[in-house]
Amino acid sequence: MILLHRFSLPLRSIIKRYPSALLIALSLLVPALQASQPDHHIDTADFYQGEALHHPQLSPDGTHLAVLQDVGNETIIMVRNLVTGDSFYPIKSDNERFKFNWIAWGNNDRLLLSVRFSNNRGMRILFTETRLLAIDAKKPSEVTTLIRPDAKADGWISQYQDNIIHWLHDDPEHVLISVDRESPAKQSVYKLNIYNGKTQRVKKFNAGIRSWLADQQGEVRVGVGYNDTKRETIIRVLPAGSKKWQTAWRYTLFEDPSITPLGFGHNPNELYLLADHDGRKAVFKSDLSKEGFPLELVISHPQYDIAGSLIYSHANKEVVGLYYSNSAFGSVFWNEEFKAFQAGLNKALPDSANYISSLSNDGRKYLLFSSHQTDPGTYYYGNRDTKELAAIAEVYPNIDRRKLTAKKMLRYKARDGLKLEGFLSLPAGDGKNLPTLIFPHGGPMSRDGNNFDSFSAFFANRGYAVFQPNFRGSSGYGHDFMMMAVAGMGLAMQDDLEDAVRFLAKEGITDEKRVCIVGASYGGYAALSGATKTPDLYRCAISFAGISDIVRLRETSKYFINGRAMQDQLGRNTAQLRETSPARFAEQVKIPILLVHGDNDTVVPVNQSQLMHERLKRAGKDVTYIELEDGSHFLDYYEHRKITFEAMEAFLQKHLPVNVKTASASLH
């Protein structure tokens, strides 16, 4: 039996140094009372406050917890002693010079930090760059930048410097890192000292190899290469005991199902991979000592792709399971000990998705993340010896879970008969003839699931039905389904959204005269495309960081080493791309549009929204444009989240009021 209780730690140290951290402290988990509002109402600030903590990591000995926490526009690293309750704050970021990407323990006393920032390197487009830092976790120390320019590299500085491929658990002073330190795109592997940054090259770059993988003993055994001219990925392996690298698998991008090495078992010839099984991605293992490198199926799903990362038990020296995501997030084990362990957790926390996010090296202490559709998630600290499980932090501590509504999966057919899925969030009430938001995801090769997300929860709490369709081209439904996104923007992918509206109206869920479309990134493009392609279908549109001119976006491909693949994905037919670029059809818009974009976006350039705004204004349309100063593609800043949520709320209240029915739009 697992003993479930609250984790009562003194909060004085965190409150003394950061008074506003009361909002994010490791709390007693009591929902805040909402006063002077309807019973179901949640304050807007509780949504845009953002996640209270990010990337919690348990130290190798299981005695300390390191987390990223947002305090206003700053992000701090907090290290909490889980035995004494003492806290230490080794470093913070103002999120202007750099942003924390992730944190990890190099050993029980040393933290490694990945940070990111944007740079144009003298070009006309912004890129994301990363750096790897190290700092003492339990005492004041200087921050060490670990990767230094190579004196022989003729001024070259690596763009990405945080790709650790092995943590070398038996060598607490070193890790293995893959970095193109000597020449652009030529990845070598180095043994890196996490105290002084000294390096020793252990594997020199090979032509075309973009990434490396090491076995559990720290030997580099897999190299993955890519040829952009041929669009071909090649996976080369070095069997244990051999000195000869061999090509094991190859596939052509966009034509063949992908093959992705995940990692090694304790046996250095046992390689785990993701590969195709009956049209869906599944986990296999291959014995590299056998001729032809045969694949043995480990786990699959009949309907969805399996995607995720391996779970290692250092105590068992073995792969025991997999973190996965399909319609939800979780973990699955094939090791009998961990199967029983998971069953005990599920019994203690029923009706939740429970997965172990971090394990101590001896496997006895762990962090557990537990969530369900009306719970954004809670982290627990567990001890397998004492069988105690203590709640330590909620991800959204101010949101009253009792006021959230669950998502429901709906299946519908597109006009060509293709079967599609989507997730519906409903406000409190009878759920009939509701004002509705169509909320397509970004990517487009990604997907939505039944997990909590702050945007759909916020919109539903404001009285809207929110539908998140996994239109054709979404990931998770097999290779063929996902490839429908290639050169497909604005075509059948867009029709799937229109068909979703018709389906919801037919089911009596949606008032067909009160529908808006909202999205970010590709979803922002879909919102703008909806406003131009089907101008009578929606009452309004909101685009965050959306694409407005595909031809212009395709022109940026020349700056990337996989530029030809990017051109293939967007499409080679320039005439078609012009026909599906919303900025070129601004005069067809009949509805109000809200545009929001960060001026420091390294994914979709801000000029995409600037162009759309300019064209709409020239055409005399009702458009509001908000440009977020130093804003990224991901709403990193508290202030940017605040601006965006409040702008969307005001825009929808004006153009799609919940309690006012109008008849200026109709389905044809």
Question: What is the full DSSP assignment across 36-68?
Answer: SS-TT---HHHHHT--S-EEEEE-TTSSEEEEE
pLDDT recorded at residue 325? 67
620 conformational bin, left if phi > 0, alpha if psi -120 to 50, beta if neither: left
Three-state secondary structure call for residue 188: strand
Closest among 20, 28, 80 to 50, alpha carbons compared = 20
pLDDT recorded at residue 546? 97
- Write out the two tokens for 372: 């369900």
CB proximity list for 575: less than 8 A, separation 6 or greater: none
Length reported for the chain: 668
What letter represents residue 437's amino acid?
Answer: L
Quickly list DSSP for 2-17: PEEEE-----HHHHHH
pLDDT beyond 60 at 21: no
- Write out the two tokens for 650: 């005001």
Domain boundaries defined on the chain = 1-97+320-401, 405-655
Please, what sign has the CA dihedral across residues 331, 336, 338, 341? positive
Closest among 171, 191, 173 to 181, alpha carbons compared = 191
Bridge partners, residue 593, by sequence: 541, 623
pLDDT beyond 60 at 353: yes
What letter represents residue 285's amino acid?
Answer: K
Find out whether the peptide bond into 397 is cis, omega within 30 degrees of 0: no
Is pLDDT larger for residue 96 or for residue 233? Answer: 233
Q: Which residue has the tokens 């791309």?
A: 577
The answer to whether 148 and 121 are in contact (CB under 8 A) is: no
Quick one: 443 exposed, middle or buried, by C-beta within 10 A (0-12, 13-18, 19+)? Answer: middle
The answer to whether 294 and 311 are in contact (CB under 8 A) is: no
Quickly list DSSP for 425-491: E--SS---SEEEEE---SSSS----SS--HHHHHHHHTT-EEEEEE-TT-SSS-HHHHGGGTT-TTT
The CA-based dihedral angle spanning residues 141, 172, 14, 99, taken in that order and rounded to the nearest 10 degrees: 80
pLDDT beyond 70 at 9: no
- Write out the two tokens for 290: 């056998």
Reported as half-sphere exposure (CB side, CA atoms, 13 A), residue 103 has a value of: 28
Three-state secondary structure call for residue 614: helix
Q: How many other C-beta atoms lie within 10 A of the C-beta of residue 575?
A: 8
Separation of alpha carbons 648 and 645, rounded Å: 5
Please, what sign has the CA dihedral across residues 253, 255, 258, 259? negative
Among 17-26, 267-276, 334-343, 414-423, name the one with the lowest average pLDDT.
Answer: 17-26
When pLDDT is averaged across residues 372-397 and rounded to a whole number, the result is 92
pLDDT recorded at residue 22? 27
When pLDDT is averaged across residues 186-206 and rounded to a whole number, the result is 93
Q: How many other C-beta atoms lie within 10 A of the C-beta of residue 106?
A: 24
Quick one: 436 exposed, middle or buried, by C-beta within 10 A (0-12, 13-18, 19+)? Answer: buried
The answer to whether 29 and 397 are in contact (CB under 8 A) is: yes
- Residues of the chain with pLDDT > 90, as a percent, come to 70
How far, in whole angstroms, is CA 648 from its chain's centroid? 22
Order of strands, sheet of 280-287, starting from the edge strand that comes earlier in the sequence: 260-264, 270-277, 280-287, 295-299
> 510-520 and 434-438 as β-strands: parallel, antiparallel, unpaired?
parallel
- pLDDT digits 0-9 by tens, 594-634: 999 999 999 999 999 999 999 999 999 999 999 999 999 98
CB proximity list for 173: less than 8 A, separation 6 or greater: 107, 193, 194, 195
Work out the pLDDT band at 153, boundaries 50, 70, 90. Answer: low
Question: Buried b vs exposed e over 263-276: b needs ≥16 C-beta within 10 Å?
Answer: bbbebbbbbbbbbb
Work out the pLDDT band at 206, boundaries 50, 70, 90. Answer: confident
Three-state secondary structure call for residue 25: coil
Phi/psi at 408 (nearest 5 deg)?
-130, 130
In angstroms, how far is the first alpha carbon of the chain from the final one? 59
Q: Whole-number mean pLDDT of the chain?
A: 89
pLDDT recorded at residue 666? 37
Separation of alpha carbons 407 and 399, rounded Å: 17
- Write out the two tokens for 540: 């309004």
What letter represents residue 317's amino acid?
Answer: K
Is pLDDT larger for residue 656 or for residue 180? Answer: 656
Separation of alpha carbons 494 and 496, rounded Å: 5
Is pLDDT larger for residue 252 or for residue 636? Answer: 252
pLDDT recorded at residue 661? 58
When pLDDT is averaged across residues 47-62 and rounded to a whole number, the result is 92
Please, what sign has the CA dihedral across residues 364, 329, 281, 161? negative
Closest among 390, 353, 365 to 105, alpha carbons compared = 365
pLDDT recorded at residue 72? 82
- pLDDT digits 0-9 by tens, 490-539: 999 999 999 999 999 999 999 999 999 999 999 999 999 999 999 999 99
Separation of alpha carbons 501 and 509, rounded Å: 10
Separation of alpha carbons 618 and 569, rounded Å: 31
pLDDT beyond 60 at 29: no
pLDDT recorded at residue 329? 64
When pLDDT is averaged across residues 561-589 and rounded to a whole number, the result is 92
- Enclosing H/E stretch for 617: helix 607-618
pLDDT beyond 60 at 418: yes
- Write out the two tokens for 358: 């971090």
When pLDDT is averaged across residues 58-87 and rounded to a whole number, the result is 93
- Residues of the chain with pLDDT > 70, as a percent, come to 92
CB proximity list for 170: less than 8 A, separation 6 or greater: none
- Domain 405-655: give its CATH code: 3.40.50.1820
Bridge partners, residue 177, by sequence: 164, 190
Separation of alpha carbons 106 and 115, rounded Å: 16
Separation of alpha carbons 86 and 616, rounded Å: 56
pLDDT recorded at residue 152? 72
When pLDDT is averaged across residues 64-84 and rounded to a whole number, the result is 92
pLDDT beyond 90 at 545: yes
- pLDDT digits 0-9 by tens, 87-117: 999 999 988 888 999 999 999 999 999 999 8
DSSP class of residue 32 equals P
Could you tell me where the DSSP H helices lie in 476-582?
479-482, 492-506, 522-533, 550-555, 563-570, 574-579
Separation of alpha carbons 664 and 457, rounded Å: 27
Quickly list DSSP for 101-135: EEEEESSSSEEEEEEEEEE-TTSSS-EEEEEEEEE
E strands present in 257-294: 260-264, 270-277, 280-287
